[in-house]
Amino acid sequence: ETQNITLSIRKDLLKAAKHIAIERNTSLSGLQKQYLENIIAEDSEYRRAMEHMMKEMQKGYNLGYE
């Protein structure tokens, strides 16, 4: 299911985005969708990595010092 959104941006950004969309053979909607999917995926990866690192830090490491 999709949801329509309204976006307000400066006219110069809109013009540049339209050119990028044309170069990538997509629409502005397609460009926005791709961007949002990418940042959501990056954020999810970061959160997973951070959770893993926190668990590892809580275990602690024996560095050979007593």
Q: How much is the pLDDT for 36?
A: 95
Q: How much is the pLDDT for 63?
A: 76
Question: Among 1, 2, 31, which residue's Cα sits nearest to residue 14?
Answer: 31
Q: How much is the pLDDT for 66?
A: 65
pLDDT per residue, tens digit, the chain (66 aa), is: 989 999 999 999 999 999 999 999 999 999 999 999 999 999 999 889 989 988 888 887 777 776
Q: What dihedral angle (degrees, nearest 10) is formed by the CA atoms of 20, 23, 26, 29?
A: 10
